[in-house]
A and B are shown apart, each in its own frame.
Chain A
Amino acid sequence: QQQVKQSPQSLIVQKGGISIINCAYENTAFDYFPWYQQFPGKGPALLIAIRPDVSEKKEGRFTISFNKSAKQFSLHIMDSQPGDSATYFCAASKGDYKLSFGAGTTVTVRA
């Protein structure tokens, strides 16, 4: 069974717009929630991560929002750029290993 559900499967956004990707998890023992960015033919690269003791974390144009009671977290990409076009994966784990990944969201930023 998939422990982390991610949506949408794909999205298209205009340059300068906001991309929003949502994830929901089942296991309340999860305590680490990273987001990874993957370009075609490459391995996933850590983008930003959050732990459940905070509700929001921002790094540059990337923000994670976390709702513990709803068991949901989301990634917001502000001022989206063509270079942001990639596949984004949310993940969750208890402790920092054995990551359970969402199915991925392909983001296309149109110039």
Chain B
Amino acid sequence: NAGVMQNPRHLVRRRGQEARLRCSPMKGHSHVYWYRQLPEEGLKFMVYLQKENIIDESGMPKERFSAEFPKEGPSILRIQQVVRGDSAAYFCASSRDQETQYFGPGTRLLVL
């Protein structure tokens, strides 16, 4: 049973470009969560989605960030017009029915 998959694993963008991070949950999991981890810090909750619905986006910055989890395909975290402060590791987790969250390997975003 494959775990949570994230791609790309590393992403380099210049300031002002867009970053798209993808997350495929574990088989049978319909709940997806995104977290951001800054260097030397713990993970910070960003958004919680179920299929086609955003349940809780209280941790998402109000501008430039958006997330979706379509009926078919992976969940996407989109960051528009990236700035250097967006450089971080972005982790996706999935769960079945709000149970234990299983994390993916993360996408490390570097903004030049």
Q: Interface range on chain A: under 10, 10 to 19, 20 to 34, or 35 or more?
A: 20 to 34
The stretch of A42-50, A51-59, A61-69, A74-82 in contact with B is: A42-50
Interface 0/1 of B67-95, CB less than 8 Å to A: 00000000000000000000000010001
A95 touches B45 (CB 8 A): no
Say yes or no: is B14 at the interface (Cβ < 8 Å to chain A).
no
- Rounded to whole angstroms, the CA-CA distance of A103 and B41 in the bound complex is 5
A97 touches B100 (CB 8 A): no
Interface 0/1 of B53-68, CB less than 8 Å to A: 0001011000000000
- Rounded to whole angstroms, the CA-CA distance of A45 and B105 in the bound complex is 10
B101 touches A99 (CB 8 A): yes
A103 touches B106 (CB 8 A): no
Interface 0/1 of A65-99, CB less than 8 Å to B: 00000000000000000000000010100011111
* A97/B48 contact (C-beta < 8 A), A43-B4, A46-B101, A104-B41 known: yes
Shortest distance between the CB of B22 and any CB in chain A (Å): 15
Q: Interface range on chain B: under 10, 10 to 19, 20 to 34, or 35 or more?
A: 20 to 34
A44 touches B43 (CB 8 A): yes
A42 and chain B: residue at smallest CB distance: B105
Q: Which residue from B35, B42, B59, B98 sits with its C-beta under 8 Å from A6?
A: B42
The 4 closest A-B pairs by CB, nearest first: A101-B42, A43-B103, A101-B43, A96-B98
Provide 21 A-B residue pairs closer than 8 Å at the C-beta atoms, listed in order of the A residue.
A6-B42, A42-B105, A42-B106, A43-B91, A43-B103, A45-B103, A46-B101, A89-B42, A91-B42, A95-B98, A96-B101, A97-B31, A97-B33, A97-B56, A97-B95, A97-B101, A98-B56, A98-B59, A101-B42, A101-B43, A103-B41
Residues of A within 8 A of B (CB): 4, 6, 34, 36, 41-46, 49, 89, 91, 95-104
